[in-house]
Amino acid sequence: MPDFGTVDLCVFSRQFRYILVHFGTFWYFSVSFCLFSIQKLPVPNDPLGFIELFKFWWEQKGQYLPQDDMERFFKLPLTFARQQAQKGVFIDSQYVEYQEEPLLLN
């Protein structure tokens, strides 16, 4: 005769629960499912990993953002590049141009 009680078995992403209960002259058998999933999170293990994450994001989503959203997203690098431009250090690229803007001197 089988043992009365519950047996839990976890296989991949599903947990199966089998319950055998004896009621007089017949057995009651129940199966219930408890679903869960495992997610994988990207974690850079080197500073260059952030560049790979950025390239992945850029190819999938970033390059399609409106100009205003890009300027907000890239505020820190834009600010740094503007500070460097004031020191005479420029980015040499066909994709970056420098516009002249009047500056009031005190």
Q: Tokens 């431009």 map to which residue?
A: 85
* Cβ–Cβ under 8 Å, residues 13 and 38: yes
pLDDT tens per residue, range 46-80: 999 999 999 999 999 999 999 999 999 999 999 99
Token readout for 31 is: 């199966």
pLDDT tens per residue, range 38-47: 788 999 999 9
Q: What is the pLDDT of residue 104?
A: 84
Classify burial at 48, counting beta carbons within 10 Å of its beta carbon; exposed 0-12, middle 13-18, buried 19 or more: exposed
Is 0.75 surpassed by the pTM of this model? no
Average pLDDT over residues 8-31: 49
Q: What is the pLDDT of residue 7?
A: 45
Q: What is the pLDDT of residue 92?
A: 96
